[in-house]
């Protein structure tokens, strides 16, 4: 089984085997700046590379699980829309199968991450959860009554909830979306605009915050407020037991989690108060979830988060390797 998690800046790939876990893991760049066709070509090349490696190890590849950002209709194997990558209504699974000859199960990167965290990670055992991935963009996956509703791929677009009505233009065409200030990319842009100094990314802003820099504190506080606004709305509507933060920004740990917990707590009154925790699987969640999703498809099991013990067991063996 090939698992491939396609992100806005890079791809994480793995060979997953029921017996031996993950005999090979690889990372590949995502050439987003070159346009959607270049990204599709890079995904196909990554799958072929992993398939060649599997053959060299004596493994037969039966299926590939590929998860991508944006709006994904898994039932129709369609990449409906991605503001970050630029494709629209792309039959991505079919295109990749034509390029590689490998059966492809297409899924959504954040729902895949939620699947992995519910079966193997920080939300294990929860029937109601929210998984929020904060990276190049911001997206969420909903777990309700032990299931992952997709609503044709449109559920969970937390990054495009308006948190600043008079805010910055967003790549989606709106203004003031959470992604403009609360994503890793948004934080880096906001810092550069506020301070007049370019930074490589949000991790550098976090480092400057830890060092006590005032400009970093102003930008970070704004990002936390936007995230708290969005999470308060989600908690009001969905009442999760646990909110799991994943993606690159969550790796800042207490710098993000502590002020976000405090800000969210101030906004809640009668609500069910969720635990706010970092993803246990880190940036491997989407990759493991891609494998779980493909195993689910191969077993023709849909919907329930806890129905495939064999898949969870196999992915658990591979955990830590994607």
Q: Comparing C-alpha atoms, which of 185, 170, 93 is closest to residue 133?
A: 185
Position with higher pLDDT, 227 vs 84: 227
For strands 242-246 and 275-278, give the pairing.
parallel
Model pLDDT, residue 153 = 86
State the pLDDT at residue 171: 86
The tens digit of pLDDT for each residue in 26-76 reads: 999 999 999 999 999 999 999 999 999 999 989 889 999 999 988 999 989
Q: How many domains does the chain have?
A: 2
pLDDT digits (tens, 9 = 90+) for 150-171: 898 889 999 999 999 999 999 8
pLDDT in tens, 221-269: 999 999 999 999 999 999 999 999 998 899 999 999 999 999 999 999 9
Assess whether pLDDT exceeds 60 at residue 305: no
Nearest alpha-carbon partner for 69 in 97, 51, 49, 90? 90
Q: Are 312 and 119 in contact (CB under 8 A)?
A: yes
Does 255 lie in the same domain as 132?
A: yes
pLDDT value at residue 59: 87
pLDDT for 178-189, tens place per residue?
A: 999 999 999 999
How would DSSP label each residue in 195-254?
A: HS---SSHHHHHHHHHTT-HHHHHHHHHHHHHHHHHHHHHHHHH--SEEEEESGGGGGTH
**Residue whose entry in the numeric block shows the structure tokens 């930074």:** 199
Per-residue model confidence (pLDDT) at position 169: 95
Q: Which residue has the tokens 């991505």?
A: 92
For every residue of 45-64, DSSP letters joined together read HHHHHHHHHHHHHTPPP--E
CA nearest neighbour of 65 among 56, 53, 74: 74
Residue 142 lies in a domain: yes
Whether residue 169 is found in the same domain as residue 211: yes
Lowest mean pLDDT among 11-20, 215-224, 229-238: 11-20
Domain, as residue range, for 131: 125-278
120 in any annotated domain: no
Q: Chain-centre distance of CA 107, in angstroms?
A: 11
Looking at the structure, tell me whether residues 272 and 288 fall in a common domain. no
The tokens describing 81, both together, are: 């829309």
Give me the pLDDT at residue 322, please: 53
Q: What is the mean pLDDT of the chain?
A: 89
Model confidence band, residue 21 (pLDDT cutoffs 50, 70, 90): low
Domain shared by 18 and 99, yes or no = yes
Does residue 217 lie in a domain region?
yes
pLDDT tens, 118-150?
999 999 999 999 999 998 889 999 999 999 998
Residues 150 and 8 in one domain: no
Assess if residue 237 is contained within a domain.
yes
pLDDT in tens, 201-212: 999 999 999 999
């Amino acid at each position: 089984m090939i698992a491939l998690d396609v992100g806005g800046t890079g791809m994480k790939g793995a060979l997953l085997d029921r017996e031996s876990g993950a005999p090979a893991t690889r990372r590949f760049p995502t050439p987003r700046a070159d346009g959607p066709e270049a990204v599709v070509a890079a995904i196909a090349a990554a799958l072929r590379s992993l398939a060649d490696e599997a053959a060299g190890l004596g493994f037969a590849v039966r299926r590939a699980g590929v998860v991508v950002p944006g709006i994904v209709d898994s039932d129709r194997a369609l990449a409906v829309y991605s503001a970050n990558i630029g494709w629209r209504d792309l039959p991505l699974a079919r295109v990749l199968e034509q390029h590689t000859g490998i059966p492809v199960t297409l899924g959504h990167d954040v729902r895949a991450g939620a699947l992995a965290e519910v079966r193997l990670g920080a939300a294990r055992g929860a029937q109601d959860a929210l998984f929020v991935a904060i990276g190049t963009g911001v997206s969420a996956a909903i777990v309700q009554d032990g299931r992952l509703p997709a609503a044709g791929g449109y559920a969970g677009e937390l990054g495009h909830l308006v948190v600043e009505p008079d805010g910055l233009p967003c790549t989606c065409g709106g203004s003031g979306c959470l992604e403009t200030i609360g994503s890793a990319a948004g934080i880096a842009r906001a810092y550069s605009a506020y301070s007049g100094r370019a930074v490589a990314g949000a991790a550098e802003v976090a480092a400057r915050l830890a060092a006590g820099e005032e400009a970093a504190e102003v930008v970070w506080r704004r990002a936390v407020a936007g995230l708290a606004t969005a999470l308060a709305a989600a908690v009001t509507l969905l009442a999760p037991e646990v909110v799991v933060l994943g993606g690159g920004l969550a790796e800042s740990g207490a710098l993000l989690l502590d002020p976000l917990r405090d800000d969210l707590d101030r906004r809640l009154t009668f609500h069910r108060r969720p635990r706010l925790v970092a993803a246990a699987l880190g940036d491997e969640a989407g990759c493991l979830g891609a494998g779980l999703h493909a195993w689910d498809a191969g077993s023709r099991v849909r919907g329930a988060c806890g129905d495939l013990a064999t898949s969870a067991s196999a992915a658990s063996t591979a955990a830590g390797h994607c």
